[in-house]
Each structure stands twice: as C-alpha cells, then as structure tokens.
Amino acid sequence: MTNNKTTIADRVFDTLCTAIVEGEIAAGSKISEPELAKRLEVSRASLREAIGRLEACSLVTRKANIGARVVSLSKEKLLEIYHVREALEGMAARLAAQNITAEEITQLQQLLKRHTDEVNQADGASYFQRSGDLDFHYHIVQSSHNERLISLLCNDLYHLMRMYRYQFGRVSQRAFPALDEHSYVVSAIADGDGEMAELLMRNHIRRSRRNIEQMMATDQE
C-alpha cells in the first residue's frame, strides 16, 4: 500500500527510462528539452523533473547551462559496475543468510527451479540472461532486508545494468555454470552461512566480469 499517486513527471521518467535502456534514445546523445517536451506533450518543468531522476540513476549526465546527455557506455565503466556489484551483492548475500525469512527461501528456491527448467528447455538460451539472472540477483538483494543496499542495487544501479545488458547484450555462454553458481548461493543462504554465501556470490559475479573481459578482449575494441 505504498504511494501510488502518479504524476506527469513519473510517466515521463518511465517513458524515458525504457527508451534509454533499450537504446531508442541513443547512448551518448544529447537531450533537447524543447524538442522532447514537444514530442511528449508535456511542459519543460515536468520533463526537467524527470531528467533529474534519470541523472540520479546515472542514465543521463547534466552540465550547467549546457544540458543533459544520455550516458555513454564503455567497457571500462561496465567493469567498474561489476566491481561495485561484487562488493555490494556479496554483502547482500551475507546479510540475506542472516535475515531471510522462511517464505523468501521458498520463493527463491521456486525461482531457481523455474530458471533451471527454462534454461534446460531453451538449451541455455536467452531468457535466462535477459531477465532471469537479474531477477535472481534482485531477490537475493531484497532478502538482505537492508534498505540502503536494496535502494542502491534495485533503484540506483538497476536500470544502468539493464541498459548494458540490453545494448552490449551478447548472451553469455555461461548459462549453465551460472545456474549452478546460483544454486550454491541459495544453499548457503538457506543454511544461514553468511560467510559462504558472500564468498560464493562474489565468485559468481567475478566470473561474470572475467567472462566479459575475455569477450571484450577477443572482440575488436
């Protein structure tokens, strides 16, 4: 029963957020307030409010008197995010092991099973990497019951991570190993072993990062 009142700025934020994440508004491109306001049929005030929130979750950057532009993506920035995620989600797993509820454990195990079925059925194909993986991490973070951690990972960094996945988006060949790693993390959390849960989660994310580093290196660029 949270605050559901929706304002124009809210809708504009949602619209622009998905447009940016999905690349409809190109990464690195400048945002023209008059043009966008006209196109979306809203006032510049509402648009500017929305842009401010986009800046808060690092989807755009603003300079005084110059304006806003969509964040530009780079290998280096992506790897930086992975370092942050390794630290933050490692801690989230540790705290989840301490604070998770019985219902949440059940939900997590069901989610894991669902993902397993989907990956097996699709022979390791895209769905898992596209949204399932983020789902899993999302649930673990929620189970930490640390509001600040949740806010950082599920509000501030979440959209940016989706943006990279969407636009840099080769689907990794790690679907099966990643699934195993997920199940180990869940086991440690269910056992209440925070130390182990953190270790396993960190290793999982570190492997993802190294996998990306490798792919980026073999690609030109």
Partner DNA sequence: CAACGGAATATTGTCGACATATTAAAATAA
Partner DNA sequence: TTATTTTAATATGTCGACAATATTCCGTTG
Return the structure tokens found at 201: 């989660």
Rounded to the nearest whole angstrom, what is the least distance from the CB of residue 196 to its own copies in the complex? 16
Smaller CB separation from DNA, 30 or 114: 30
With CA atoms as reference, report the closest residue to 149 among 108, 188, 80, 198: 198
Smaller CB separation from DNA, 34 or 76: 34
123 binds, among DNA, its own copies, none (CB under 5 to 8 A by kind): none
Q: Site residues for its own copies, window 42-71 (CB under 8 A)?
A: 45, 48-49, 52-53, 55-56, 63-66
What type of residue is 37?
A
6 near its own copies, rule: CB under 8 A: yes
- The interface mask with DNA, positions 32-51, x = CB under 7 A, is xxxx------xxxxx-xx--
Whose structure tokens read 């994310």?
Answer: 205
Given a contact cutoff of 8 angstroms between Cβ atoms, the answer to whether 101 and 189 are in contact is no
Main-chain dihedrals φ then ψ at residue 173, nearest 5 degrees: -85, 5
> DSSP assignment, residue 131?
I
68 near DNA, rule: CB under 7 A: yes
Whose structure tokens read 């199940």?
Answer: 183
Q: DSSP characters for 53-69?
A: HHHHTTSEEEETTTEEE
Exposed/middle/buried for 190, CB within 10 Å: 0-12, 13-18, 19+?
Answer: middle
221 near DNA, rule: CB under 7 A: no
159 near its own copies, rule: CB under 8 A: no
Smaller CB separation from DNA, 31 or 196: 31
Q: Which residues bind its own copies (CB under 8 A)?
A: 3, 5-7, 10, 45, 48-49, 52-53, 55-56, 63-66, 77, 80-81, 83-84, 86-88, 90-91, 95, 146-149, 152, 156
